[in-house]
Amino acid sequence: MTRTENSRITLRLQSSCLDVYKKDLMERALEARQSMSECGICCEFVPNDYFRKLSACQHAYCKICLRKHISFAIRESRTEIPCPGCSAQIHPNDVRNYCHQTPELLQKYEDFSLRAALIKIPDTRWCPAPDCGFAIIVPNGSKCPKITCQRPECKTEFCFDCQKEWHQGRSCRDTEKPAKSNDVVQSRPCPRCRTPILKEDDGSCNHMVCTMCRAEFCWLCLKEINDLHYMSPTGCTFWGRKRWSGKKKLLVQIGSLIGSPVIIAATAVISFPLIIGGLPITVGKRVYKKMRNASKTKRVISTAAAVTGSAIAAPAIATFAVAVGVPFAIGYTYVVVPKALIHDVIEYAHRHRIATEPVASSG
């Protein structure tokens, strides 16, 4: 056997060994991949034994991401922690199991959960003394508003109604202190549970959600609200630092009552041809863009059919929109606005009467 033949045999053996080695590596990688799953939070492939299943919804995530998700929610003072993949609430037992390595965080969750449970009791009040926060349940507390904290080290006396230190001989309104103009951060109580809420005075969104009781309220008027609050003439704006003045609200309300018929009629006249002409164009553009991977003939035929169909349906859609929108706008203008106008006039007269009343002497 010559040297050339030996070298050929050696190369063949090396090549076959490499093939076997590559095949073995691919099989091992495939087996490892089969024993791993993708985490829905970090989108990384993690060994299956790293996953933890939630008892409420049976969704599973890697333990590191799940612990971070729960820890972040607790630091935000949230007791109802949602599953990252659905709206189900994570069970408290899961929170305890996955956060047992951080006792201080778990203690914070227990404190928040207890407070959230007590908030649901209307007669619960918290001591306003610094570093106290002792909860007291006082049935019919408005009849005898003076409360004494039952914590032995505290014994602070405070008011049941305003939850401030007891103000003998003064009303709760007299104890209110206006915020200073140079304050960057202000604290205001939630209208439902009275939990202090912090917000920077930068004119940002005034729609607030309490982290304890999940109440939605307005930062400007401190009232629980719905989605129509900022659309109604309340003087509150979605963004801004302060409410409209009483005169501005009255002018806007009176102006809307006088000018609404003209505005509503002009809107109906303009919107009818816009819907009829704009609907076929919009539908045609969307269908043409959606069919970009189809053949040219099919794309043209589909676009033409969509434009024709929408052009036929456009008058009916425009008629329906005007027939529903105009009565709704008229009803809103002449039901909601007059109601708010009467309320504001009464409130303005009440404030003016209080301001002009002589202050009684205290002696």
Active-site residues: which are they? Answer: 205
Scan for tokens 């034994």, then name that residue: 49
Measured distance CA(236)–CA(251) in Å, rounded = 15
Measured distance CA(207)–CA(226) in Å, rounded = 10
Measured distance CA(110)–CA(92) in Å, rounded = 9
CB 180 within 8 A of CB 189: no
Number of helices (H) and strands (E) in the chain: give both, helices first. Answer: 7, 12
Residue type at 233? P
CB 220 within 8 A of CB 236: yes
* Strand partners of residue 126: 135
Closest listed residue to residue 191, CA positions, set 165, 214, 167, 157: 214
Distances (CA, A) of 48 to 9, 25, 84, 95, 139: 45, 21, 18, 20, 53
